[in-house]
Amino acid sequence: MPEPNPDQCWDREFKGKVTNTDGKPIEGVKVYVGTRDYEWDGHNGVTYTYGPITSCKPAITDAEGKFAIYVGQVQWEATFVAEDVDGQQNGLYNTTDESLLNFDGVIVMEEATPENNTNE
């Protein structure tokens, strides 16, 4: 488990794990507390954008896919955002989010393909 960063602001600690759809852990994923906004363009569907909502530092998953993140006061619609930031090194995964309210300890990321790649 990654060691806590003393520079992180926190009111509450969350621990979890990031896996792929087969349940295998993913190393090197950035996890932060943010929001998910969406935009409907009327033709191609919904486009999601993510943004951090706290000044707390993000966590990076370890070799077992584990993370510990410390959050201050957040709004009820806040989410954990998991973002693949290491390119192809540990596989390519789409950015995803998980509600803090429903968080069960695991964030599952879908592997990116040319058809569904949200990282471009």
Output the pTM of the full model.
Answer: 0.72
Percent of the chain with pLDDT over 90: 24
The confidence band for 10, taking pLDDT boundaries of 50, 70 and 90, is low
What's the number of domains the chain is made of? 1
Domain span at residue 105 reads: 12-109
Position 115 scores a pLDDT of 61
Strands 12-20 and 46-52: unpaired
* Strand residues in 23-86 grouped as ranges (E): 29-40, 46-52, 59-60, 66-71, 79-84
In the prediction, which pLDDT does 6 show? 46
Alpha-carbon gap, residue 106 to 68, rounded angstroms = 12
Q: Is residue 34 part of a domain?
A: yes
- 104 belongs to a structural domain: yes
User: Is 118 among the domain residues?
Assistant: no
Give the phi and the psi of residue 29 in degrees, each rounded to 5.
-95, 135
Place of tokens 């706290």: 54
Q: Identify the pLDDT of residue 100.
A: 76
Is residue 46 in a domain? yes
